[in-house]
Amino acid sequence: MSSSSRRILYVVPTLDQSGAEKQLTLLATGLAAKGNEIEVVALNRGGYFEGQLKNAGIPVTVLNKRLRVDPVTHGRLRQVIRRFRPDIVHSWLFSANTHVRMLHSRRSPWKCVVAERCVDSWKASWQLFLDRRLKTSMDAMVVNSESVAEFYRDLGVPGELIHVIQNGVGKADSESSDESIRTAWRKLVALPRGAFVVGSIGRLARQKRLDSLLWALHLANMAETDVHGAFAGVGPEREHLLELSEKYDISHCTKFLGHQESSDEFLAGIDAFWLGSEFEGQSNSLMEAMAAGLPVIVSDIPANLELVTHDETGIVVPLGDSAAFATALRKLKSDPDLAARLGAAARQKMLDEFSVQAMIDQHRSLYDELLAGDAAS
């Protein structure tokens, strides 16, 4: 079978505006443009990327999953697979990976590929049990970093099944910011035009260690008068973080902006980006900030170290070390040449090593390899 005419079904819990869903959309639309027949199933609900997929001519089916264990959704997914008759079923994230692996067997006429996107230390014991139980009920596992690969090897997934394919950064994410966009965005969110603004994009959850970033902002403001923080995203820690900003006396210079439709405008409006997470897979928001030419400050977890080299493409500080984050922030503010050099090097790294086309080509090669094995046998 020609590699330009694969029938590929992608299965994902939602099509919300998040990292895994963005990578799925980039992959699906890229492969569809090359003549592959693509369909997408969202188990729970559609979302932001549903429109982009449909605009690209890709059918989307939403199964409206309601229960954690939902036999109705499981049956509907089986019917979609039987109707579409895919060569590849590629699922993303725990819920979809579980349903698809449970439907797959050695007699299945389709190849099963699952995608894991994070060092999933958050998983409950029953989820880890299912992962172990289903660890060989697939033909391949795609992960986006060596950190995630190590996590799943330690969980018992055979190393030969794991394939590292790093995230791709789209062209729009790497375009230089326009000063008019920057000015308009700052006016919209009520940030001073001349302030030094450090930003963060992501779910407001404990793993992001945003409390340490708030304390770092407090420390920086003890010596500076025009340092502001902007946090984009929603999540369970929002109220706690608002309380901390009051407690640390930085509410006047801290913005919690909620969900942002366009990360491009946000990134154009800030001067530096920081990520203090205690675990990640491969952060899309960090990659987009680097692609936008921003200097970045990151915690020294393995996933971040795969993207950022200290003093070359950003600044790396110890996890949870608020003083180090504050020092790095002040360093970037006081030395515009250093900030520009780090930002330019970060952008070049994204352009050279993390293109969307490279991500698509590596997936296509994996699919060809899996299906060639069938043809050979």
Three-class secondary structure assignment of 167-232: CCECHHHHCCCCHHHHHHHHHHCCCCCCCEEEEEECCCCHHHCHHHHHHHHHHHHHHCCCEEEEEE
> CB-side exposure of 270: number of CA atoms within 13 Å?
32
Does residue 172 register a pLDDT over 50?
Answer: no
pLDDT tens-digit series, residues 217-262: 999 999 888 999 999 999 999 999 999 999 999 999 999 999 887 7
Task: Give whole-number Cα distances, 283 to 116, 264, 293, in Å.
Answer: 13, 16, 16
Q: How many Cβ atoms are within 10 Å of 271's Cβ, its own excluded?
A: 20
Rounded to whole angstroms, how far apart are CA atoms 269 and 195? Answer: 11
Name beta bridge partners: 297: 274, 315
Rounded to whole angstroms, how far apart are CA atoms 200 and 139? Answer: 37
Does residue 173 register a pLDDT over 90?
Answer: no
pLDDT tens-digit series, residues 81-129: 999 999 999 999 999 999 999 999 999 999 999 999 988 888 899 999 9
Long-range contacts of 129-134 (CB under 8 A, 24+ apart): 130/98, 131/94, 131/155, 131/157, 132/156, 134/97, 134/98, 134/101, 134/102
∠ Cα 41 134 207 (to 5°): 75
**Which of 337, 345, 359, 356 has its CA nearest to residue 308?**
345
**Which of 319, 264, 318 has its CA nearest to residue 293?**
264
Question: Residue 176: what pLDDT?
Answer: 44
* pLDDT range class, residue 135, cuts 50, 70, 90: very high
Which has more pLDDT, 151 or 375? 151
Rounded to whole angstroms, how far apart are CA atoms 175 and 238? Answer: 31
Does residue 377 register a pLDDT over 80?
Answer: no
**Which of 308, 297, 294 has its CA nearest to residue 274?**
297
Q: How confident is the model over 131-140, as a mean pLDDT?
A: 96
For each of the domains in the chain, give its residue range(s) and CATH number, in order of start: 7-168+355-372 (3.40.50.2000), 171-353 (3.40.50.2000)
In the structure encoding, which two tokens stand for residue 203, read together?
A: 């779910």
Which has more pLDDT, 262 or 165? 165
